[in-house]
Amino acid sequence: MNYYSLNHKSPKVSFQEAVVRGIAPDKGLYFPEKINPLPEDFFKNIEDLSNNEIAFALIRQFVGDEIPENKLKEIIADTLSFDFPVVEVEEDVYALELYHGPTMAFKDVGARFMARCLSYFNKNNSHEVTVLVATSGDTGGAVASGFLGVKGVNVVILYPGGKVSEVQEKQLTTLGQNIRALEVNGTFDDCQAMVKNAFLDKEITDNIQLTSANSINIARWLPQMFYFAFTYKHLKKEGKPLVFSTPSGNFGNICAGMMAQQLGLPVSHFIASTNINRVVPDYMETGNYKPVPSYQTISNAMDVGDPSNFIRIQEIYYNDFQNLKKHLSSYSFTDEETRTAMKYLYEIRNYIADPHGAVGYLGLKKYRKEHSETLGVFLETAHPVKFLDVVEPVIEQKIDFPPQIESVVHKTKKSTIITTYDELRSFLLG
- CATH number of 299's domain: 3.40.50.1100
For residue 145, what are the CA distances in angstroms to 24, 160, 174, 413?
26, 19, 11, 15
DSSP 145: H
Report the number of distinct structural domains present in the chain: 1
Residue 155 falls inside a structural domain: no
Residue 153 falls inside a structural domain: no
CB-based burial label for 57 (10 Å; 0-12, 13-18, 19+) = middle
* pLDDT higher than 90, residue 39: yes
In this prediction, residue 359 has a pLDDT band, given cuts at 50, 70 and 90, of very high
CA–CA gap between residue 113 and residue 405 (Å, rounded): 21
As a whole number, the mean pLDDT across the chain is 94
> Can you tell me the mean pLDDT for 324-330?
97
Report field, pTM of the whole predicted structure over 0.75: yes
Q: Looking at 141-145, 181-185, 282-286, 360-364, which range is the least confident one?
A: 141-145
- Using H for helix, E for strand and C for coil, what is the string for the chain? CEEEECCCCCCCEEHHHHHHHCCCCCCCCEEECCCCCCCHHHHHCHHHCCHHHHHHHHHHHHHCCCCCHHHHHHHHHHHCCCCCCEEEEECCEEEEECCCCCCCECHHHHHHHHHHHHHHHCCCCCCCEEEEEECCCHHHHHHHHHHCCCCCEEEEEEEECCCCCHHHHHHHHCCCCCEEEEEECCCHHHHHHHHHHHHCCHHHHCCCEEECCCCCCHHHHHHHHHHHHHHHHHHHHHCCCEEEEEECCCCHHHHHHHHHHHCCCCCCEEEEEECCCCHHHHHHHHCCCCCCCCCCCCCHHHCCCCCCCHHHHHHHCCCCHHHHHHHEEEEECCHHHHHHHHHHHHHCCCCCCCHHHHHHHHHHHHHHCCCCCCEEEEEECECHHHHHHHHHHHHCCCCCCCHHHHHHHCCCCCCEEECCHHHHHHHHHC
CA–CA gap between residue 427 and residue 430 (Å, rounded): 5
* pLDDT higher than 80, residue 7: yes
Residue 166 falls inside a structural domain: no
> Can you tell me the mean pLDDT for 368-389?
95
Residue 333 falls inside a structural domain: yes
Better-scored residue on pLDDT, 122 or 66 = 66
CA–CA gap between residue 430 and residue 422 (Å, rounded): 12
Look at the chain and count its residues.
430
CA–CA gap between residue 316 and residue 324 (Å, rounded): 9
Residue 386 falls inside a structural domain: yes
Residue 283 falls inside a structural domain: yes
* pLDDT higher than 90, residue 185: yes
Sheet order of strands, 375-380 included: 86-90, 93-97, 375-380, 242-247, 269-274, 328-332
Q: Where are the beta strands (DSSP E) in 335-428?
A: 375-380, 416-418
In this prediction, residue 176 has a pLDDT band, given cuts at 50, 70 and 90, of confident
CB 209 within 8 A of CB 127: yes
pLDDT value, residue 138? 73
Q: What percent of the chain has pLDDT over 90?
A: 78
Find the domain containing 345 and state its range: 82-106+220-400
Neighbouring residues of 206: CB distance < 8 A, sequence distance ≥ 6: none
pLDDT value, residue 309? 95
